Amino acid sequence: MASVALVLAIALVAAVFMSFTVGANSNSAPVAPAVGANAVSVLRAALLVGLVAGLGAILQGGSISETVGKDLVTGVTITPLAAAAALLTAATLITIGNTYGYPIPSAFTVTGAMVGAGIALGGGFAVHEYVVILGFWFAIPIVEGVLAYGLARGLRSESIAETTGIPLLGGAVGYALANIQLTVIPTANGAQGSVARYLATTYGLLPTTVGGSYTVGMVAVSVVSGLVALAGTYALLRRDETAGINQFLVVLGLIVVFTSGGTQVGLATGPLESVFETDLELPSLYLLALGGGGILLGAWIRGPRLVQAVSNEYASLGPRRSIAALIPAFLIAQLAIVLGIPISFNKVMIASIVGSGLATSSADSGGVSARKIGITLGSWVGSMMGAGVISYVLYLALRALPIS
C-alpha cells in the first residue's frame, strides 16, 4: 500500500513538473509577437501569460487531456507508474530545450513519451489516432502560413484603411470567441459547450438548425459578439490609431494565451486522467486546476527567456504582421480543442510568425532566421522519437524497482 501511494505521489509531482515546464516553454509564445512589436514588455507579458494561460487551462483543457490519457495506446489503462515515466521524460527533455534557448515542441515530446510508456506497459499502437494527429500536425504550417501571409499582405495594403481592416478582424475574433468550447458549459452529451450554445439553448433563441446541431440562435449570439468586438476595436483606433493597434494586439495576444493554456495543460494532465478517475476518484476539474497552477508558475518563473527568444530570433514583426500571426494561431488552436488533438504551441506560433514574416518586403528590416527554423524542425522530430525510446526504457527501469 505504501508503495502504491509513493508511485501516485511521484506521478503527481511529475505532472506538476510537466505543467511548470509547459508554462515556461509553450504558453509564452503567443505574446511574443506583441513583445516584438513593443506593445508590451517582456516581464509584464510573462506575468499576464501565467494568469491567463492558467485560466485557459482550467476552462478549456478537458478534451485534449482525455486524448493524451486514453487514446494514444490501445488495450491498456495508463497506470501511475507509466504516467510518471512519460511525464518525467517529456518534462526533462523540454527543460533541456528551454535551458539552451530552443523551444522543444511539447505535444511531440509528450505524445512520444506516452506511446513509449504505453507500449512498455503492454499496449498497442493506436494507428488511426496517429494518422489523425499527424495529419493535423502536417497541415498546421501550411494552413497557418498561408493565412498569416494573406492577412499580413492585406493589412499592409494601402487599399485597406487601418480603421476598416483591423476592426473587421476584431469582429471575426469576437464571433469565434462566442463559439469556443468551455469546460464550465457542459452539453447534454457531456462534451464542452460554448457561450453561444448556452445562451441560445437556455433562452430558446431561434432553435432552427442550420447545419448539424448549430442553430440560428447560436448564429445570432455569435454575430452580436462579433459586432461588439468590431465596435470596440473601431473605437480604440478612432481615438488613437497607433495606440489602438497596440492595445488590440495585446488583447488578441492574451486571447491566444488563453487558448494556449487550454491546448497545453492536457499534455501535463492527460497521463493522469485514468489515475484520477480510478485511483483517486476525483473529478477532472481538480486535475486541470493542478495543471493550471503549474502553468502559472512556469510562465512567471521561466517564461521571459522564451518570450524574448521567439520574439527576437524568429522574426521581427510590426503590429500589423503580429496581428496577422496571432489570428491564425487562435483559430487553429481552437480547432484542435474541438477535435481533441494535442498540438505544440511553439509550432503553431512559429508557423504563423514565419508566414507573416514572409510578407516583409526586402526593404524592411524584419526577416526570418532560416538557421533557427531548421534547428527547430530537427528538434521536433528528434524530441518525439527520443521521448518514446527514453520513456519506454524508463518505465521498465522503474517497474524493476521495489516501489512498483
Q: pLDDT (tens digit, 9 = 90+) per residue, 286-336?
A: 899 999 999 999 888 877 776 776 666 544 667 788 888 889 999 999 999
In a domain, 235, yes or no: no
217-236, pLDDT tens digit by residue? 999 999 999 999 999 999 99
Residue 296 maps to a domain: yes
Q: What backbone phi and psi angles, to 5 degrees, belong to 389?
A: -65, -45
Q: Is residue 352 part of a domain?
A: yes
For residue 208, which amino acid is it?
T
* Position 207 pLDDT exceeds 60: yes
Q: Where are the beta strands (DSSP E) in 253-403?
A: none
pLDDT band at 54 (very low <50, low <70, confident <90, very high): very high
306 domain-assigned: yes
DSSP state of 364: S
- Report if residue 246 sits inside a domain: no
Plot region of 73 (φ>0 → left; ψ -120 to 50 → alpha; else → beta)? beta
Residue whose C-alpha is closest to residue 35's, from 315, 352, 354: 315
Contact 322, 88 (CB under 8 A): no
pLDDT at position 311, please? 63
Do 345 and 106 contact (CB within 8 A), yes or no?
yes
Phi, psi of 39 (to 5 degrees): -85, -20
Domain count, the chain: 1
Instruction: Tell me the pLDDT tens digit for each residue of 74-100.
Output: 999 999 899 999 999 988 887 787 677
C-alpha cell at 192: 464542452
**Is the pTM here over 0.85, yes or no?**
yes
Per-residue pLDDT at 67 = 93
Express as a percent the part of the chain with pLDDT over 90: 41
Range of the domain at 378: 2-157+264-399
Whether 48 is covered by a domain: the verdict is yes
Q: How many Cβ atoms sit within 10 Å of the Cβ of residue 370?
A: 9
The yes-or-no verdict on residue 366 having pLDDT over 60 is no
* Domain assignment of residue 237, yes or no: no
Residue 185 lies in a domain: no
